[in-house]
Structure formats: C-alpha cells, structure tokens
C-alpha cells in the first residue's frame, strides 16, 4: 500500500502540542547509538512526507541526520487511544524556499522560539506507517 498520510494524521500532528501529545523523534548517531527527543514542530508536509524544525543550528541531531538518514516518529494520543509510528529518511533542507515553507508549517509556539529562522528545516520521506504494531502503509 503506498504512503498517503491522512487528513486525521495531519490534524493530529498539527495539534499535538496543543493537546499535550508532542511527537517523539528517534535518530541514530555514527556509532549506532539511538537518540530520542520531542519535537513540537513535527507536521505533515505532504501526502508522503513529514517535516520538522531544529531550532538550534548547532544541534547534534543535524549531524546524526547527515550521517544516518533513517528516522522514526512516535505519536501517542492516550485520550483517543491512537499510536502511530512513522519511519522514513530525513534530509536537512538547503533550498531557501522550501526552508521557509517548512517553517511556516510548524506550530506557532515553535515559530515564536525561533523568530529569525536561525534553525534548520528537515524533510522526511516516509516509507512505513504503523498503527500500534499493525502496518498501515509502506513502500
């Protein structure tokens, strides 16, 4: 089944911070060590991609993405009993127009924390979506 992120996914991720369910992102460093962090800027970019904003241009996550593009996201809404996992490959965006578009798509509270857009935009092409442990979509 091809990847086609749903309108419900778009809505839930867009409101994740408002509902106190931030998205957990996992990356892997050069030595294979996993790292996890919450990112309130995570949002559906298009039918096949997620995007997020790294506020600190010196963040170690940038180097992890550059050296290991596989990445995963976990969204858990305990009130509605929704658990989604998104897996894909991330890239640090270089195109100025795309950077601006991703920044405009992040949560306003996250924009307020980086009003000068000093951070980095990340685009993630999704290749697998799970609901709980059930595969919903995959390439």
Give the model confidence (pLDDT) of 29-40 as tens digits: 999 999 999 999
Give the model confidence (pLDDT) of 12-30 as tens digits: 999 999 999 999 999 999 9
pLDDT category at 2 given cuts 50, 70, 90 is confident
Query: Between vectors from CA 53 to CA 1 and to CA 61, what angle results, nearest 5°?
Result: 90
**pLDDT over threshold 90, residue 1:** no
Class of domain 7-138: mainly beta
**pLDDT over threshold 70, residue 89:** yes
Give the model confidence (pLDDT) of 62-74 as tens digits: 999 999 999 999 9
**pLDDT over threshold 90, residue 75:** yes
Domain-wise residue ranges, the chain: 7-138
């Amino acid at each position: 089944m091809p990847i086609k992120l749903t309108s419900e996914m778009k809505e839930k991720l867009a409101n994740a911070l408002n509902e106190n369910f931030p998205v957990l992102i996992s990356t892997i460093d050069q030595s294979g060590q996993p790292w996890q962090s919450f990112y309130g800027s995570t949002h559906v970019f298009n039918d096949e991609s997620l995007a997020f904003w790294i506020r600190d241009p010196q963040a170690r996550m940038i180097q992890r993405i550059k050296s290991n593009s596989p990445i995963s996201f976990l969204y858990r809404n305990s009130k509605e009993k929704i658990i989604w996992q998104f897996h894909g490959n991330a890239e640090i965006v270089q195109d100025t127009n795309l950077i601006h578009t991703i920044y405009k798509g992040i949560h306003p509270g996250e924009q307020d924390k980086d009003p000068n857009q000093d951070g980095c935009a990340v685009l993630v092409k999704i290749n697998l979506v799970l609901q709980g442990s059930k595969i919903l979509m995959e390439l």
